[in-house]
Chain A
Amino acid sequence: MKLKVTKSNYSLIIFLLILLTLFSIILFSTIGTADINIVEAFKIGLSKVPFIKSFISLEGIKNAHRVIILNLRIPRVLLGILVGAALSSVGAAFQGMFKNPMADPYVIGISSGAALGATIIIVTGLNLSLFGIKSISVGAFLGAMITAFMVYIIARVNNKIPVTTLLLSGIAIGQFFTAIMSFIMVIFSNDLTKIIYWTLGSFSAKSWDELIPVSIPIILSIIVINFFARDLNIMLTGEESAKSLGVNVEKTKILILIICSFTTAMAVSVSGIIGFVGLIIPHIVRLIVGPDHRILLPSSALVGGIFMIFADTIARTIISPTEIPVGIITALFGGPFFIYLLKKKKKSI
C-alpha cells in the first residue's frame, strides 16, 4: 500500500491525478438513467473541448441526448468535483490543524452550521444576489463560522483539542443545528423530500446556474488552503515547535478555520450536507502519499472530487429512475470507515 513518494515526484502525482479527474468527469457523465451509449457521450463531451472539437462529429446523435449530457450531466459532474474537492481539502486541513485524523467538516458540525445558515436565508426569503454573491452563501458562511468557533472553544482543553471532546462537541452541535434546520423547514415548507435531500446532500437537478456562482469561490479557496501547507506540516510537530520555527500558530489556526468554513459553506450552499467525504479521502490519500500537506492537500482535493462523482453516479443510478441523496452513499462508505478509524485510534483516545 505504501508507495515510495519523494518530493521530486510530487508534480508527477498531481499530473496523473488531474488526468484521472478529467477521465472520470467524462466517464461518469456517460453513465446514467437515459440510455446514452459511452461513445456517444464521449463525443458529446469532447465536442465542447477546445481543439478536440473540430475532430468530433455529432451526426446521428439525438438532440435530447446532447441536452442531457451538456446541460444536466456535465454541470452536475463538475459540481460534484468541486464539492468533493472542497470537502476533502477542508478535511485534510482540519486533520492537520487539529492533529486529529477524525476531523472533517461534517463530523465537527461545520456542514450542519452552514446548512442551517443557508436554510434561514431561504425561508426568510432573503434570497438575493449581489455582485454574483448569493445571500444563501453568505448565510451558509456565517453559520459555518459560528459553528467552527463554537466547537473549537467547547472542545478545547488546556489549549489542546482532544479527539473525544472534538467529536462530542462537533456531533452535538452538528445534530442540534440539523434539528433546528429541519424544524424550520418543516414549518416553512412541509416538503419532507426537500428536507431529506438537504440534510443528506444531493446534486439532484443541479445545472450551470448553481455551478457557476460557487465555482470561482471554491477553486480560489482551495488554492488558498494550499498556501498553508508548510505551516500545517510544522504545526503537526507540536505548537511549541511550530512557534519556535517561526509559525504564528494562533493566527494561522484562525485563518485556516475561516477559510475552511468559507469553503465548506460554499459547498454546502449548493449540495446540502454531504458527510464523511472530508474524513475518508484525506485519510486514504495520506496512506498513499504520506503526511506532507504540500502533496496531501492537492491530492485530497482531486481524489475527493473523483470520489464524489463516483458516489453521485451510484446515487442517481442505483435504484434508477429514482435518485437517492448522495450523502447516503458517502455515509455507506464513510460510516464503516469511521468506525475502523475509531477502533484503530482507540488506544490514543
Chain B
Amino acid sequence: MTKAVEIKDLNFGYGETLNLKDVSFSIKKGDFVSIIGPNGSGKSTLLKNIASILRPKDGLIKIDNKDIENYNSKDLAKKMALVPQNTNIAYDFSVFDVVLMGRSPYLSRFQRERDIDYKKTKEALRLTDTLHLSERNINYISGGERQRVIVARALAQDTDILLLDEPTSHLDINHQIEILSLLKKLNKEKDMTIILVLHDLNLASRFSDKIVLVNEGTILAKGIPEEVITYKNLEKVYNLDMVISTNVYTASPYIIPLESKRIYEKKRKKVHVISGGGSGVEVVSKLDKKGFKVSMGVINRGDSDWDIGKKLSLNMIEEMPFNGITEESFKENIKEINNSDIVILTSVPYGNGNIKNLEAAYEALKINKEVYLIDKYNEYEKFDFVKGNATKILKEMKKNGLRVYNDIDKLINDLN
C-alpha cells in the first residue's frame, strides 16, 4: 500500500491543553477521505496540521513517505494543495488571476508566468467549469462559484493531494453536491488523494472511500463508511437519537437524526414492548421519540415491528420467523422485562408460536412491574388461536392489575 499521508502519535494544542491527542492513521494514495466530527472536535485542526498550517507539538506527519518537516514550503506546495474554509479574498482580483496564483510554487521570485502556467490555469478552470468566469471579479461571483474557483486554484497547483476544509459549508444543496461530485471526479480520473473535513455525515458517507471520525481530539473510528457511520459511534459523539438506514440510491449508510438526547437524559424510563405484526410500530416510535429507552421481544425477524426496532437500533430479543418462541428466548425476554420499568403489550392474535409472549407479560405482572395493554381488540375478530388460553391469561392479568388503554398518546402521556 502506498501512503499519501501518514500520521503517527500526533499531539497538538493551541495553548497548554491538547486539542489533538495521540492521533495516528494513514491515508492511501487515491483515497477519498472525509474527516467528520462534531463542532470543536478538532477535525479542522487535524486538517491544518496535515496542511502544515499548524505545527504539531510532537508526533510525525509524512507526506508521500517524507517527513513534512523536511519539505521546504514550495516543494510541499507542489505535493499538496489546500482549499481553506475562508475563501474571502481582499481586493478585486479577477478569477483568472486568483487561479493563476496556484502556479506560484513553480515560479521563482522574478520569473514571469510561462506558457505552461497559463495552460495549467486554463485546464483547472475548465475542469471546475469556471472558465467562463475568468474575467469576472472574484468578489462578485456567487459562493458556489467562488468555492469552485478556489478548487481550481488548488488544481492549478498540480498536486497529488488535495485538502479541503469544509468545502460545502455556506453552500446551497445543489452546490454542495456539485463540489463533491467534482472532487469525486478528480479523485477517479486524476487519481488525486482527496482529504476533506465535512460537517454533513450523509454527504461524507455517500462520497467517501474512508471516513475518520474525530471526537474530543482523538480518533474514535476510522474505516469504510459502513464501519464508521454506526449508531454506536454516532450516538456517543453527537449524543443524538437517529435512525441509520441505507440510502437506496447510493447504497451508503444514511442517517436520519431524530431528537437530541440531551433534553431527556434525566427521565429516561426503560420500557419493554411485547408486540408483533406491526402492532407495535406506532407505540415504539412514539416512545423512542419521547426519550424512553425501549426494548422489544420476543419478535420475529422481518416482522414490521422488527424493522422499526432495527432502524431505531433498539435492543431486541429476536426469533427466526415461523419458529415459535423457544424456551431460551422466553428466558431472555423475562430477563429484559426484569430490567425494565414498564411493560407494554399490544393487541396481537395469539397462537402456539407466540403465546409465550403473553405468558412473559403475565410474569411481569407477577414481579410487580407496571404492565399496560393497548387494547385494539374488537369482538368481531378472533385473536385467540390457542383454545381460549390467551383469553384466560388476559382475564387473569386484568384481575391482577393490568392497565388497559385504548389511546397510545394518552398512555405515553400518563407514563411520564
Complex-state Cα separation, A42 to B215, whole angstroms: 77
B240 within 8 A of A: no
Interface string of B85-100 (1 = CB under 8 A from A): 0111111111001100
Asked if A245 and B105 make an inter-chain contact with CB atoms under 8 angstroms apart, the answer reads yes
A193 proximal to B (CB < 8 A): no
B80 within 8 A of A: yes
Closest CB in chain B relative to A105 CB, distance in Å: 19
Asked if B84 contacts A238 (CB within 8 A), the reply is yes
Let me know if A99 and B90 touch, CB within 8 A.
yes
Cβ–Cβ contact A227 & B104, under 8 A:
no
The docked-state distance in angstroms from the alpha carbon of A174 to that of B89 is: 29
Q: Would you give the shortest CB distance from B338 to chain A, in whole angstroms?
A: 56
| Cα-based distance from A286 to B137 in the complex (angstroms) | 14
- Could you tell me if B82 and A230 are in contact, using CB atoms closer than 8 angstroms? no
Is A175 among interface residues, defined by CB-CB distance under 8 A? Answer: no
In chain A, residues 86-128, which have Cβ atoms closer than 8 Å to a Cβ of chain B? 96, 99-100
Q: How many residues of A contact B (CB 8 A)?
A: 23
Which of B80, B86, B105 is A240 in contact with, Cβ under 8 Å? Answer: B86
- Does A247 belong to the interface (CB within 8 Å)? yes
- Is B52 part of the binding interface, using a Cβ–Cβ cutoff of 8 Å? yes
Q: Contact check: which of A237, A244, A292 meets B53 at CB < 8 Å?
A: A244
Please name all residues of chain A whose beta carbon is closer than 8 Å to the beta carbon of B84 when the two chains form the complex.
Answer: 238, 240-241, 244
Q: Does A233 contact B (CB under 8 A)?
A: yes
Interface membership of B168, Cβ < 8 A: no
**Does B247 sit within 8 A of A, measured CB to CB?**
no
By a CB distance below 8 angstroms, the chain B residues around A247 are 73, 104
- Contact status A246-B73, CB under 8 Å: yes
Q: Does A156 contact B (CB under 8 A)?
A: no
A31 is an interface residue with CB less than 8 A from chain B: no
Known: A230-B104, A234-B101, A234-B104. A244 touches B82 (CB 8 A): yes
Question: Binding site of B, secondary structure by majority: helix, strand, loop or mixed?
Answer: mixed
Closest Cβ of chain A: how far from B105's Cβ, in Å?
Answer: 4
Instruction: Report which of A7, A233, A246, A292 forms a contact with B105, defined as CB distance below 8 A.
Output: A246
A96 CA to B90 CA, complexed, in Å = 8
- A244 to B47 Cα, complex, angstroms: 12
In the complex the two chains form, is A243's CB within 8 Å of B52's CB?
A: yes
Q: At the interface, yes or no: A164 with Cβ under 8 Å from chain B?
A: no
Q: How far is the CB of B91 from chain A (nearest CB, A)?
A: 4
Q: Flag whether A236 is at the interface (Cβ < 8 A).
A: yes
The residue on A at minimum CB distance from B109 is: A227
Q: Is the CB of A236 within 8 A of B89?
A: yes
Measured CA separation A269–B154 after assembly (Å): 45
Q: Once the chains bind, are A286 and B48 in contact (CB under 8 Å)?
A: no
1/0 per residue, CB under 8 A from B, across A292-316: the answer is 1000000000000000000000000
A248 contacts B by Cβ under 8 Å: yes
Number of interface residues of B (CB under 8 A): 39
* A335 within 8 A of partner (CB): no
CB-based A-B contact count at 8 angstroms: 81
- Closest chain A residue to B75, Cβ basis: A246
Q: Which residues of B contact A290 (CB under 8 A)?
A: 92-94
Q: A291-B93, A292-B93 are in contact. Are A245 and B104 (CB under 8 A)?
A: yes
Q: Report the Cα distance A236→B150, complex, angstroms.
A: 13
Q: Complex formed: what's the CA distance from A21 to B157 in Å?
A: 39
B-side contacts of A227, CB under 8 Å: 109-110
Assembly CA distance A96 to B104 (angstroms)? 17
Interchain CB contact under 8 A, B109 and A230: yes
Instruction: Across the interface, name the chain A residue whose C-beta is closest to B90.
Output: A99
State whether the Cβ of B107 lies closer than 8 Å to any Cβ in chain A.
Answer: yes
* B99 → chain A closest CB, angstroms: 11
CB nearest neighbor in A for B84? A240
CB interface residues, A 206-246, toward B, < 8 Å: 227, 230, 233-234, 236-238, 240-241, 243-246
Q: Which of A233, A241, A244 has the most chain B CB within a 10 Å cutoff?
A: A244
A160-176 CB contact bits vs B (8 Å, 1 = yes)? 00000000000000000
- Chain B hits for A243, CB < 8 A: 51-53, 73, 82
Asked whether B76 is an interface residue with its Cβ less than 8 Å from the other chain, the reply is yes
Given contacts A237-B98, A243-B51, A245-B101, A230 and B107 within 8 Å (CB-CB)? yes
| Other-chain residue from B48, B92, B157 in contact with A245 (beta carbon distance below 8 A) | B157
Asked if residues A238 and B89 are in contact (CB atoms below 8 Å), the reply is: yes
B91 adjacent to A246 (CB under 8 Å):
no
Q: Is the CB of A241 within 8 A of B91?
A: no
- Is B262's beta carbon under 8 Å from chain A? no
> What's the least CB distance linking B169 to chain A, in Å?
15
Contact of A286 (CB < 8 Å), options: B76, B86, B91, B105:
B91
Q: Is B102 an interface residue (CB 8 A)?
A: yes
Cβ contacts under 8 Å, B81 to chain A: 244
Residue among A238, A244, A248, A291 making CB contact with B92, cutoff 8 Å: A291
**Bound form: Cα–Cα A291–B102 in Å:** 17
- Scan residues 245-275 of chain A and give those whose CB is less than 8 A from a CB of chain B: 245-248
B395 at the interface (CB under 8 A from A): no
**Which A residues touch B98, using CB under 8 A?**
237
Question: In the assembly, what is the distance between CA of A86 and CA of B157, in Å?
Answer: 34
A82 CA to B153 CA, complexed, in Å: 38
Q: Mark B371-383, 1 if CB is under 8 A from A, else 0.
A: 0000000000000
Interface status of B74 (Cβ within 8 A of chain A):
yes
Complex contact B82–A241 (CB within 8 A): yes
Tell me if B77 is interfacial: C-beta within 8 Å of chain A: yes
Query: Which residues of chain B are within 8 angstroms of A236 by Cβ–Cβ distance?
Result: 89-91, 93
Bound complex: CA of A233 vs CA of B30, how far in Å? 32
Q: How far is the CB of A159 from chain B (nearest CB, A)?
A: 11
**Across the interface, which residues of A come within 8 angstroms of B165, CB to CB?**
240
- B111 to chain A: closest residue by CB: A230
CA distance A7 to B82 in the complex (A): 26
Given A230-B104, A240-B48, A244-B163, 13 extra CB contacts under 8 A: A7-B113, A99-B90, A230-B107, A236-B90, A237-B93, A238-B88, A240-B165, A243-B53, A246-B74, A246-B104, A247-B104, A248-B73, A291-B91
**Chain B residues within 8 Å of A, Cβ to Cβ:** 48, 51-53, 73-78, 80-82, 84, 86-94, 97-98, 101-102, 104-105, 107, 109-110, 113, 150, 153-154, 157, 163, 165
The 9 A-B pairs with the shortest beta carbon distances in the complex, nearest first, are A246-B77, A244-B82, A291-B91, A246-B74, A240-B84, A99-B90, A246-B105, A246-B73, A236-B90
